Amino acid sequence: MIEKPDNDNNSVGPMIFIIIGKGYESDGAEGVDLHVMLKAADDDSAVREALNALAEEGFIEADLDQIGMLTDVPEEEPHASAYQGALEGEVAIIRFN
């Protein structure tokens, strides 16, 4: 994993991204609302890693609507735990039913 940003993202701390979208587990199935949190060097790397993690979890397709970088530590669950996991190098997938 790339540790230093290769673009204009000159963040002092780790760059933790949140990606908001919808994942599909089978053809014709209703989508599941998702938040994906992960540490990455840039937004392109974050999207690639998120899609790989979703595929590993059984999603055959995903519509990623928004991406952003978290500037504060979330205080409420499940995002607080997901943030901690992302700091440790995990890709955290939060599903909303």
Residues 29-83 pLDDT 10s: 899 999 999 999 999 999 999 999 999 999 999 999 999 999 999 999 999 999 9
> What is the separation of C-alpha 45 from the centre of its chain, rounded to a whole number of angstroms?
10
pTM: 0.85
Q: Tokens at residue 11, please?
A: 């963040």
- The H-assigned helical ranges of 4-87 are 43-56, 79-87
